[in-house]
Amino acid sequence: MIDTLLGWYGREARDLPWRRTRDPWAILVSEVMLQQTQAARVVPYYERFLQRFPDPVACAAAPAGDVLRVWSGLGYNRRALALHRAAAAIAAEGWPDDLEALAGVGPYTAAAVASFAFGARVLAVDTNVRRVLARTGLRPEVPRPGLNQALMELGATVCTARAPRCGVCPLEAECDGPEEPAPRTGGRPRFEDTDRYVRGRVVAALAAGEPLPDVESGRLRRALEGLERDGLVERDGTHVRLPGQPVR
């Protein structure tokens, strides 16, 4: 089964920029950006971020507000602050033996960086990989080179959570197929109606030097309070700015 999967990956793998490097900083940036975000959306942000911050020293030396400005638009802005803190730790002390000691790095990200950058023989299990393993029954104890990438690619492009493309899956013959999805109950609010939407618009406006978004005052107040609490903005009276940036 593993040989079949690796052969498929060799033919079908998408050409993504972080797959062309073993630089641990570049791989860490990609893995943090890919959390809860699709690869196609990440590519331009990844390339722009590394052009501005090609190594941990450059990132650590920049104000947090500059990091947020380059990140702005990708979403989940707290990831940018965590990456900035991780860069500071790496710049000061080098790469730790335990990658989970870095800000924003959990078990999956640590395993991915260890595997892709440092050649560790560990299995990096994200949501896509977990789904493939559950459906196929594959249990690799010591992953072979390329297996992590192949599992991720299969889960992201073929063995998807909804509407999996079983007819083109290289493991279809060995797979019992996906379980029937549980019926969806209740409605979800529109993204535009969430506080997260307002938070993102505030950070984007500050990054672009534009006025704060014109939204209902209660929502804006809630967003500003949360952003300040998370260290994503600083307030001085009525003035709001990104961390380390001049007062507007």
* Domains of the chain by residue range: 2-174, 191-241
Assess whether pLDDT exceeds 50 at residue 134. yes
Which tens digits make up the pLDDT trace of 85-116?
999 999 999 999 999 999 999 999 999 999 99
Q: What is the average pLDDT across 5-14?
A: 95
Please report the pLDDT score of residue 246 as a whole number. Answer: 62
Q: What is the spatial distance between Cα 215 and Cα 95, in angstroms, rounded to a whole number? A: 43
Two structure tokens written together for 150: 């192949």
Assess whether pLDDT exceeds 70 at residue 123. yes
Residue 157's contacts (CB-CB under 8 Å, 6 or more residues apart) are 12, 14, 165
Class (C level, CATH) for 2-174? mainly alpha
Q: What is the average pLDDT across 205-232?
A: 78
Smallest Cα–Cα separation from 33: which of 90, 72, 89? 72
Given a contact cutoff of 8 angstroms between Cβ atoms, the answer to whether 65 and 245 are in contact is yes
Q: What is the spatial distance between Cα 180 and Cα 229, in angstroms, rounded to a whole number? A: 41
Given a contact cutoff of 8 angstroms between Cβ atoms, the answer to whether 189 and 219 are in contact is no
Given a contact cutoff of 8 angstroms between Cβ atoms, the answer to whether 200 and 35 are in contact is no
Task: Give φ, ψ of 235 to 5 degrees.
Answer: -125, 140
Please report the pLDDT score of residue 185 as a whole number. Answer: 55
Q: What is the average pLDDT across 18-22?
A: 95
Q: How confident is residue 4, by pLDDT bands cut at 50, 70 and 90?
A: very high
Q: What is the average pLDDT across 7-34?
A: 96
In percent, how much of the chain has pLDDT > 70? 94
Q: How confident is residue 42, by pLDDT bands cut at 50, 70 and 90?
A: very high
CA distances from 161 to 69, 132, 157 (A): 33, 10, 10
Q: What is the spatial distance between Cα 209 and Cα 202, in angstroms, rounded to a whole number? A: 10
Mean pLDDT across the chain: 88
Q: Which residue numbers are catalytic?
A: 31
Please report the pLDDT score of residue 187 as a whole number. Answer: 62
Q: What is the spatial distance between Cα 147 and Cα 9, in angstroms, rounded to a whole number? A: 9
Q: What is the spatial distance between Cα 230 and Cα 196, in angstroms, rounded to a whole number? A: 13
Give residue for tokens 């331009």: 44
Q: What is the average pLDDT across 60-87?
A: 94
Please report the pLDDT score of residue 140 as a whole number. Answer: 81
Smallest Cα–Cα separation from 5: which of 176, 173, 177, 178? 173
Assess whether pLDDT exceeds 80 at residue 122. yes
Please, what is the Cα angle at 39 between 77 and 69, to 5 degrees?
30
Q: How confident is residue 186, by pLDDT bands cut at 50, 70 and 90?
A: low
Assess whether pLDDT exceeds 50 at residue 211. yes
Q: How confident is residue 248, by pLDDT bands cut at 50, 70 and 90?
A: very low
Two structure tokens written together for 162: 């909804």
Q: What is the spatial distance between Cα 153 and Cα 186, in angstroms, rounded to a whole number? A: 31
Given a contact cutoff of 8 angstroms between Cβ atoms, the answer to whether 166 and 175 are in contact is yes
Please report the pLDDT score of residue 111 as a whole number. Answer: 95
β pairing state of 234-236 and 239-241: antiparallel
pTM equals 0.84
